[in-house]
Every structure is written in structure tokens, then in C-alpha cells.
């Protein structure tokens, strides 16, 4: 690690676990071990199975191999088993070593193969089993956070099919030291109202009161991943399909941001903070400008109900993550347009497009175009404030 950015306090606001096979079974009561998520071979493929229902491929979801080399996503992402990935993808002690090698002080962590927003854990009819599985995951992640002395911050999942359960689980994980929660962007996929429905206000109020920022990772819903499978034309090459799908998943989080703002969420909950995770920042100025124009043109009565212009809510209530963008030395203009107080740095380790093997060095030249104050905020100080580090 050679970057001068390592002299700063650095937080990686988006990384991922490769969930080990015994993540749930090792913590489940004996009578549920064959019903909570576990691995089974189905038609020659290893799958996550929950209560007899396949809920996802039991792969590493990683592109950094056990040998420390980065492989093409088409050859690794949906192929490698967990044990074939870099041990830092699933071993907390090794992950701390990765942070030390990177020059990173703390890291926020999301799932890989049980749904980026945990949506797969709500995919079976037995909602009590779903709740227990979510709680098992969150308990395991709380152990990781505690044992790392808050250097590793896995975001707890929410039982998004039930608002009351979300309120209760948010309170429970907050008591265990959680610094935020990971929410699916489309709870209606699981049978709950969509997030624009005021029925969610008790949950939003709880998160605001407990200083739990809501995280919306790209592809964090059944709906989001359905879009992912339809963005590319079927005759494209496999690697090209991944590139198209990934690019449009980034921009797909504009859907989450616009819906949150226009639902009046932040008027009713001005202290609520939300994070658009792994979505980049380049699209934000355009979308905010578009919101103002489209609401003025097409929904003036609804616009009048908002306390301020739609574009003004991002700087007060939203964050987004930055890692690879702006190789054309336009970063200062982009940061000014988005707001230096609401941008977080990320690496996406060990997923495709991750900054590896030297993430700080890879962004050093870009960050050098910013003021010292803006660099410090984006690399870690914004995250220090958001996550109470």
C-alpha cells in the first residue's frame, strides 16, 4: 500500500461477505437446522435452500481468488465456491488484515448471495422462520462487529415483509451496537406496502431516533434483480451482459432516491439518513435537476406539498458512494454538484469492479484534484459522522 491517502481516516462504505455454508445452521436451534438457509446440491448446483425452497446459488460471489489474484467476473462470480475465494471474503480476522494492507480504518459490509438487501430471507411462506433467519444473520454480524472493535460494520437485515417486525428488529440491533440497517428497496415484493406508503412511518421514525441510517444497495430487491436480468439483450456476450447489468444497476438506484424524496419521507422525518450504496455519484446532479423539472411540469400540486424543491433533499438526507468514477479530471465539478458532505468512499471488495489490490492508490490522483477538506470528508470523515466512529 503506497498511497498518501492512508494518512487520513479512511472508511470503505461498501464491501461484501461471501456467506459461509454454516452461517445459519451453526447458530440455529436443533429443530430448525434443516429449515434455515443451508447448502444443498440441486441438479448438480450448490444452492442456498430454506425450508425446502431454493433461494439462491451458494457461490462466493467474489472475483478475488484464494491466490490473491483478481479474476474476470464471467469466470468467477457465479462459479467459485466460498472456499475458492480470498479468505478475507469470509474470515473476519483475515478481513482485518486486508484492511490493514489497504490502509483502511473501518469497513461497511453487505451480503453477497442471500440477496443484497437480504430479500431472499423473506422468500418462503413461514414468516416466523424468515424472522428467525434474519435474526440469526444479524446476531452473527453483530459478533463480527464486536470482535473487530467496530472496524467491520456489517449492516443488519430487516424483516421487510412486516413493518412491526422491522421496528422491533431495528430496536434490537441498535441495542447490539448496529450503526445502520440494510433495507430492501421493494418490500412490496415480500407482501408489505411499498416504502412510499405512510404505514412505514413508524419504522422511519425509529431509524431516525436511533441514528440508524437506512442503506439501499443496488439490486437489493426481487424487482431490482429482475431488471438486472432484462437490461441486456440476450445475444450479448456473457461478459458484456455483466457490464450492461452492472452499469444499469448503478443508475437503477436513482429509482430509490427519487421515490424516497417525492414520497415526502424527509419532510416527515427530517433526521432520517439514507445511503445509496454502490451506485456511484455521476448520475445524481442530472436526476436531481430532472426531479425539479418533471414535478413542475407534471405534478405541480404534489410539488407544492413538499417543504422544498426535490433537488434540495439530497444534501440534507442522502449519501452515495464513490469509487471508480471521473477519469477525466472533472471530479471537483461533480463533487460540488453532489455535495462534498454526502459522498462516501467505497472499494466493493471482493465483488466485480472492486478497487484491488491497492484501492487508495487507484483513487489518489483523482482525489488530489479536490481540496484537502473535501478529500478528508469523502475518504472517511463523512462516514465517521454517519456511523458514529
Cα–Cα dist 94/360, whole Å = 19
Q: Which three cell numbers stand for residue 346?
A: 467505497
What's the pLDDT score for residue 1? 47
What's the pLDDT score for residue 309? 98
- Buried/exposed 135-173: b ≥16 CB within 10 Å, e otherwise: bbbbebbbebbeebeebbbbbbbbbbbbbebbbebbeeb
Residues forming a β-bridge with 64: 70
Run of H or E residues at 29: none
Question: Which has the closest alpha carbon to 295: 250, 320, 337, 263?
Answer: 263
Cα–Cα dist 345/382, whole Å = 9
Question: Which has the closest alpha carbon to 347: 321, 385, 326?
Answer: 321
Run of H or E residues at 133: helix 127-147
| Length of the chain (residues) | 389
pLDDT in tens, 80-137: 999 999 999 999 999 999 999 999 999 999 999 999 999 999 999 999 999 999 999 9
Backbone angles phi, psi at 2, to 5 degrees: -120, 0
CA pseudo-torsion sign 65, 67, 70, 74: negative
> How many Cβ atoms sit within 10 Å of the Cβ of residue 286?
12
> How many Cβ atoms sit within 10 Å of the Cβ of residue 57?
16
List the chain residues with pLDDT less than 50: 1
What's the pLDDT score for residue 236? 96
Helices then strands, counting H and E runs in the chain, come out as: 15, 11
Provide the whole-model pTM. 0.96
Cα–Cα dist 159/203, whole Å = 11
What's the pLDDT score for residue 229? 86
Beta strands in the chain (DSSP E): 11-16, 38-42, 45-50, 53-57, 106-110, 152-154, 181-182, 214-217, 274-277, 318-322, 343-345
- 357: DSSP letter: S
What's the pLDDT score for residue 326? 77
Find the DSSP H helices in 210-283.
Answer: 222-228, 238-262, 265-268
Cα–Cα dist 101/82, whole Å = 22
Residue in the block written with cell 441438479:
43
- 281: DSSP letter: S
What's the pLDDT score for residue 198? 98
> How many Cβ atoms sit within 10 Å of the Cβ of residue 31?
7
Residues forming a β-bridge with 8: none
- 217: DSSP letter: E
- Domains and their CATH numbers in the chain: 4-20+87-387 (3.20.20.140)
3-state secondary structure at position 106: strand
Cα–Cα dist 389/382, whole Å = 10
Cα–Cα dist 135/156, whole Å = 9
Question: Which has the closest alpha carbon to 284: 309, 264, 263, 312?
Answer: 312
pLDDT in tens, 209-266: 999 999 999 999 999 998 888 999 999 999 999 999 999 999 999 999 999 999 999 9
3-state secondary structure at position 219: coil
Amino acid at each position: 500500500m503506497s498511497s498518501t491517502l492512508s494518512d487520513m481516516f479512511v472508511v470503505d462504505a461498501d464491501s461484501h461477505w461471501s456467506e459461509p455454508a454454516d452461517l445459519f445452521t451453526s447458530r440455529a436451534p436443533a429443530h430448525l437446522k434443516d429449515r434455515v438457509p443451508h447448502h444443498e446440491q440441486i441438479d448438480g448446483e450448490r444452492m442456498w435452500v430454506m425450508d425446502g425452497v431454493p433461494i439462491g446459488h451458494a457461490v462466493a460471489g467474489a472475483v478475488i481468488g484464494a491466490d490473491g489474484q483478481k479474476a474476470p467476473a464471467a469466470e468467477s462470480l457465479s462459479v467459485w465456491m466460498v472456499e475458492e475465494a480470498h479468505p478475507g471474503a469470509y474470515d473476519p480476522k483475515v478481513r482485518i488484515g486486508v484492511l490493514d494492507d489497504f490502509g483502511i480504518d473501518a469497513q461497511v459490509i453487505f451480503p453477497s448471495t442471500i440477496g443484497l438487501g437480504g430479500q431472499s430471507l423473506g422468500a418462503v411462506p413461514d414468516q416466523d422462520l424468515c424472522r428467525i433467519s434474519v435474526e440469526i444473520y444479524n446476531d452473527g454480524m453483530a459478533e463480527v462487529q464486536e470482535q473487530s472493535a467496530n472496524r467491520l460494520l456489517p449492516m443488519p437485515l430487516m424483516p421487510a415483509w412486516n413493518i412491526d417486525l422491522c421496528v422491533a428488529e431495528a430496536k434490537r440491533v441498535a441495542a447490539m451496537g448496529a450503526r445502520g440497517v440494510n433495507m430492501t428497496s421493494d418490500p412490496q415484493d415480500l407482501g408489505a406496502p411499498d416504502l412510499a406508503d405512510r404505514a412505514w412511518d413508524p419504522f422511519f421514525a425509529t431509524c431516525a431516533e436511533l441514528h440508524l441510517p437506512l442503506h439501499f444497495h443496488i439490486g437489493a430487491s426481487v424487482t431490482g434483480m429482475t431488471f438486472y436480468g432484462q437490461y441486456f439483450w440476450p445475444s450479448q456476450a456473457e461478459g458484456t451482459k455483466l457490464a450492461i447489468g452492472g452499469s444499469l444497476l448503478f443508475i437503477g438506484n436513482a429509482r430509490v432516491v427519487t421515490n424516497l424524496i417525492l414520497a415526502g419521507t424527509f419532510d416527515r422525518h427530517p433526521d432520517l439518513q439514507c445511503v445509496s450504496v454502490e451506485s456511484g455519484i455521476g448520475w445524481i446532479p442530472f436526476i436531481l435537476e430532472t426531479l425539479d423539472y418533471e414535478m413542475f411540469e407534471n405534478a405541480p400540486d404534489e410539488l407544492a406539498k413538499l417543504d422544498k424543491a426535490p433537488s434540495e433533499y439530497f444534501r440534507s438526507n442522502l449519501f452515495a458512494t464513490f469509487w471508480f468514477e471521473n477519469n477525466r479530471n472533472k471530479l471537483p465539478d461533480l463533487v460540488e454538484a453532489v455535495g462534498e458532505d454526502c459522498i462516501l468512499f467505497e472499494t466493493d471488495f471482493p465483488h466485480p469492479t472492486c478497487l484491488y489490490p491497492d484501492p487508495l492508490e487507484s483513487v489518489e490522483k483523482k482525489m488530489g484534484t479536490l481540496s484537502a477538506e473535501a478529500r478528508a470528508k469523502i475518504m472517511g470523515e463523512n462516514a465517521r459522522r454517519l456511523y458514529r466512529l
